[in-house]
Homo-oligomer: A and B are copies of this chain.
């Protein structure tokens, strides 16, 4: 027989896991809509030249790419490149600021390793401006992140906010622009190093003792959001980029508060860079307070120019992304999400014999009309087998129909957890199920 397991690096869920995954995905989708973002979709398959216009190096190696006939085809590896193409292609019919959400699978032919997937869901939301985009949109993203992770209820979280200009300005101030790539990497892994090892790392990069002291001071800023901002001001760095970044950060923090995100849910974190090229202003990461080892579960930021490869229009934007496949697998591993077997159905209707099937099915229809999800057991089987099915699919209620129930124009509702039974009229059954949900 053929091996039926999925290829390594792909995620396939049991029905119970899928139910929980879909619930989380729906929450993200609903919250994006809640903030007025319009959902789009793009094909998984793109012409390779379109998809690779900007890519290179590692990304290019990871892409699934193949010929079909004489077309050079590639599978999308993120949702940002397709967004850039989409905006360029549909420019005339879009309204700016263009607020779009996109929740879909992307593909990377990576060497499989723990936590890396070859097919995974990204849940993206971006606002694209025409030539300019107000910084207030930067602030709205933490508001959306806050809404989503509050509803997901996977524990306390912290939205970490920084501005790339602060980092770039600081590098210039240091006179360490040549070492900036190595320095950003060092800052990025600071939390994993001892204080002494971090200083050694800085020396290895080639910083002098004055520079090391400055970096140490810069990355050690602690305290509340306002305190950190004040301390950054007090560093007395006069570099224009640094100052602009700090002003922007201050503005974002003020607006984030205005929009209703409580201080306990966000912080300023000057160590966040989010790579070297793409982001140009505000950057975000989100961490779970109890599980810092998961790293950032929702990241993004501001960029100057979305679609320079596809259009001459200047299209600045700001967005964030949730890597749901990876997050879900981590939460399953930590035992945080509930993947107990349970049915999508609110109740299973069981006709005790074939004679009661018509009555039972009509009862099911009454319950469905009330919006309930109803499974009806239609096999002619022994009673025991019918209840075993109810038990194994994990449905909360059995709605039993035998001769007696038909005579009384009623049904027996049995709570599958407690075994408790109640005889109610078909008309009252929906309300009964709802009350006990």
Contact = CB atoms under 8 A, between A and B. Distances in A.
Given A34-B374, A39-B344, 12 more contacts: A1-B311, A4-B50, A4-B311, A6-B89, A15-B38, A35-B375, A36-B345, A44-B44, A45-B118, A132-B379, A136-B357, A136-B378
Contacts of A228: none
Interface residues of A, number: 92
Interface stretch (A95-103, A203-211, A231-239, A401-409): A95-103
Interface in A25-42: 33-42
Interface of A: 1-7, 10-15, 18-19, 22, 33-47, 49-50, 53, 64-66, 68-69, 71, 73, 85-86, 88-90, 93-95, 97, 99-100, 105, 107, 109, 118-119, 129, 132-134, 136-137, 140, 255, 258-260, 309-312, 343-345, 348, 357-358, 361-362, 365, 368, 373-376, 378-380, 389, 392-393
A368 B34 contact: yes
A37 B395 CA distance: 12
Nearest to A378: B136
Nearest to A87: B4
B45 A119 contact: yes
A260 B343 CA distance: 24
A128 to B, nearest CB: 12
Contact of A43 (B6, B66, B86): B6
Given A46-B6, A86-B12, A40 B53 contact: no
Nearest to A360: B258
26 contacts: A1-B309, A1-B312, A2-B49, A3-B47, A3-B50, A4-B50, A4-B85, A7-B47, A10-B43, A13-B41, A15-B100, A18-B39, A34-B373, A34-B374, A35-B368, A35-B374, A36-B374, A36-B375, A64-B66, A65-B66, A66-B66, A99-B375, A136-B357, A258-B361, A259-B365, A260-B362
